[in-house]
Amino acid sequence: MEINLVSDTVTKPTQEMLHAMFSAKVGDDVYKQDPSVNALEEKVATIFGMEAALFFPSGTMANQTAIKLHTNPGDQVICDKWSHIYHYEGGGASFNSGVSCNLVDGTRGMINASIVKNSINDPEFYHAPLSKLVSIENTTNKGGGACYEIETLAEIKQVCVQNNLKYHLDGARIWNALVAKRQSPRQFGQLFDTISVCLSKGLGAPVGSVLISDAKTIKKALRVRKILGGGMRQAGYLAAAGIYALDHHVGRLEDDHRRAKELAHILQQLPWVASVEPVETNILIFSVQSYLNEKVIIDKLKEKGIHISSMGHGKLRIVTHLDYRQVMHEYVMNILPKIAM
């Protein structure tokens, strides 16, 4: 039995999702004539109570488009030091938009209004870059799937309004946060200027993210997507997978969260584990004892058919997902206590 817990991006479409994809009505989306893509964009915009949306081949491209829309070369983006837009998007913020990132010291990848306020450069001090955008990641990847409280996000919004800053949400795993916190997507739609959401992580679609905003901003985003090479033709086959995922795979995220917490409970009892970070959603990060190399743990688990990933500095990551079934979960829970160091 091979069990891949490296990421929630490793899932394959279910048979029901494949049927939806094969049955999709398609057209040329570059001409905005693909009915399935149009339906997906309208669906996601409606879910968040925003005016319009645009389908992207990746979350990175959606985030990079948002940064481009909100900034000019030389500007600065305020974000947590662990942000995906800084660490895992290939330096795209500087390459595509010519901006720098003001990396602030949050907690588990999350920041607050006070931190943002203290990070804004004086617009009259021309030696420093202009602060133009605040980017939030929810849930946080390097923060172990941590989720923001709506009240915290609303307080940051007030700082943005008072200082003429745009506000972007990297919501790659927003669906996990919505389920874990029992929050409404429309609460997020009321706060952010742009939101990117991923369909190919927890929801199990094979490809795709969606950028949501007002109609004027999305019209501009269409041009940026074109420049970045993100225009796709009969993309409705992929959009149909996203529609199916939204209709059938959101509620079941609770299973992923439960399994991650159960694995955390076992790891906390093992002598070779130094610490386990709090688990709210489907990401579990733990540290091995200082006398161990994390690669040893990875290799021992791999021998048992269990694949996890290293985050460096003695930290390991497990991510539960749609393809991680209960029978696999019981196998992993049985194996972990048997790993001896």
Q: What is the pLDDT of residues 310-328, one digit of tens each?
A: 999 999 999 999 999 999 9
CA-based torsion, 84, 88, 89, 90: positive or negative: positive
Whole-number Å distance between alpha carbons of 106 and 84: 14
| Percent of the chain with pLDDT strictly greater than 90 | 98
The residues of the chain that CATH labels 3.40.640.10 are 15-248
Distances (CA, A) of 234 to 24, 36, 58, 91: 10, 9, 16, 30
The residues of the chain that CATH labels 3.90.1150.10 are 252-338
Q: What is the pLDDT of residues 2-39, one digit of tens each?
A: 999 999 999 999 999 999 999 999 999 999 999 999 99
Residue-level pLDDT at 323: 98
Q: How does the average pLDDT of the chain come out, rounded?
A: 97
Q: What is the pLDDT of residues 77-112, one digit of tens each?
A: 999 999 999 999 999 999 999 999 999 999 999 999
CB 166 within 8 A of CB 136: no
Cis before 107 (ω within 30): no
pTM: 0.97
Whole-number Å distance between alpha carbons of 283 and 22: 32
CB 26 within 8 A of CB 34: yes
Q: What is the pLDDT of residues 272-288, one digit of tens each?
A: 999 999 999 999 999 99
CA 338 to chain centre: 33
Whole-number Å distance between alpha carbons of 65 and 4: 31
CB 203 within 8 A of CB 250: yes
CB 221 within 8 A of CB 213: yes
Q: What is the pLDDT of residues 184-243, one digit of tens each?
A: 999 999 999 999 999 999 999 999 999 999 999 999 999 999 999 999 999 999 999 999
Specify the DSSP class assigned to residue 75.
-
Please provide the CATH number assigned to the domain covering 15-248.
Answer: 3.40.640.10
Provide CB contacts within 8 A for 299, sequence distance 6+. Answer: none
Fold of 252-338: Aspartate Aminotransferase, domain 1 (3.90.1150)
- Check whether 341 has a pLDDT greater than 80: no
Whole-number Å distance between alpha carbons of 128 and 122: 8
